[in-house]
Amino acid sequence: MSDYIRYIDFASIKLADLAVELGDYACALEFYNKAFDRLYQYQGDRMHPIMMAGSLKETIAETERKIKKGKSVLFSESWKLTKSSFVKGSQCIKSLYLDRHKPNEKNPISQETQEVFNQGHNFENHVRELAFPGGINVKDKVGNFKYFNSYTNVLLQDEKTKIIYEATIIEDSVLVMCDICVKREDGTIDFYEIKLNKTLNDAIKSDLAIQYTICKKRFGDRLNTFNLIMRVDNENKPYQIIDLTSELAMKTKEIEDKIHKFKSVLDAQEPTIAMSDHCLKPYECNFTNYCRALKDS
């Protein structure tokens, strides 16, 4: 690898380019400057980074000239809980706490687990191509999690955008990312969560319940349906769509209570919980090595 690659802040340039596309020149200027400052630290003699720095300097000057006619649409936002941390908390509140405060204690990801993740991503992409083609992927376009929610808002307000992948919603300091968001002609919205599984389990139910609750807070009556897409053994149509809207609507009070509880857990001391069957169901917790070490010490 070339010695200058680590000095190129691709993520900042990507976000700045998107900001220019949207007319948010203040945001663009912030991230072009961040990328330039990083590149300026390069002390080698390769021509590419030197030329790139010169090009960035020109881009910054051009952006500065446009800033007065710009509009602010991309914002950095924070959150306390995510969909995945909520699912962890539903299985074990200690896992929730460790995921926030001691993430380096996670078990190494096994090759088998990574392969399952890869299969899940491949299935997700396949379903999108088959049933919901042409969407805009928030994660791919933005790259910086803190700006996912505001960019999702831009797409939701854009009449030309009908399908959004990884639509990101933050409400009540909870962040959820929805696999597929479809804007209907009447202004209502359908959501779809894609799972490689062939059967429902408690983790999937928790996953969809927190997403539905947060999306309902944001969209109210505009939320039309919330659906689960699962794998089936059919070469022609390898998935089925299950409308879970009514079932999920009945869980909102329970989910809101859990959100309050889990936030309290994150603000308190590390919970003391003995290892038991819950460590393996519905999935093996990725902090089992940490807890075994405590148990054996």
Cα 174 from Cα 149, distance rounded (Å): 11
Does residue 272 belong to any structural domain of this protein?
A: no
CATH number at residue 122: 3.90.320
Among 28-32, 47-51, 181-185, 243-247, where is mean pLDDT lowest?
A: 47-51
Which pLDDT score is estimated for 19? 98
Give the mean pLDDT of 117-141.
Answer: 95
Average confidence score pLDDT of the chain: 94
Indicate whether 56 and 85 sit together in one domain. Answer: no
Does residue 93 belong to any structural domain of this protein?
A: yes
Which pLDDT score is estimated for 50? 83
Instruction: For residue 199, give every residue at least 6 positions away whose Cβ sits within 8 Å of its Cβ, in sequence order, or none.
Output: 230
Which pLDDT score is estimated for 47? 86
Which residue from 227, 214, 120 is spatially nearest to 168, judged by alpha carbons?
A: 214
Per-residue b or e along 50-74, where b marks 16 or more CB atoms closer than 10 Å to that residue's CB? eebbeebeebbeebeeeeeebeebb
Indicate whether 110 and 243 sit together in one domain. Answer: yes
Does residue 285 belong to any structural domain of this protein?
A: no
Which pLDDT score is estimated for 297? 65
Residue with tokens 């939320």: 223
Give the mean pLDDT of 163-183.
Answer: 97
Among 46-50, 210-214, 264-268, where is mean pLDDT lowest?
A: 46-50
Contact 78, 48 (CB under 8 A): no
Indicate whether 158 and 115 sit together in one domain. Answer: yes
Indicate whether 147 and 121 sit together in one domain. Answer: yes
Indicate whether 208 and 129 sit together in one domain. Answer: yes
pLDDT at 1 over 70: no
24 falls in which pLDDT band (50, 70, 90)? very high
Contact 75, 147 (CB under 8 A): yes
Which pLDDT score is estimated for 184? 96
Give the mean pLDDT of 129-140.
Answer: 96
Indicate whether 55 and 201 sit together in one domain. Answer: no
* Number of structural domains found in the chain: 2
Indicate whether 58 and 114 sit together in one domain. Answer: no
Which pLDDT score is estimated for 234? 87
Does residue 181 belong to any structural domain of this protein?
A: yes
Contact 248, 208 (CB under 8 A): yes
Indicate whether 46 and 175 sit together in one domain. Answer: no
Q: Provide the domain limits for residue 98.
A: 81-267
Does residue 143 belong to any structural domain of this protein?
A: yes
Among 58-72, 167-181, 281-295, where is mean pLDDT lowest?
A: 281-295
Cα 121 from Cα 143, distance rounded (Å): 17
Instruction: For residue 15, give every residue at least 6 positions away whose Cβ sits within 8 Å of its Cβ, in sequence order, or none.
Output: 27, 31, 74, 142, 143, 144, 147
Does residue 124 belong to any structural domain of this protein?
A: yes
Which pLDDT score is estimated for 43? 84
**Span 205-218, pLDDT tens digits:** 889 999 999 999 99
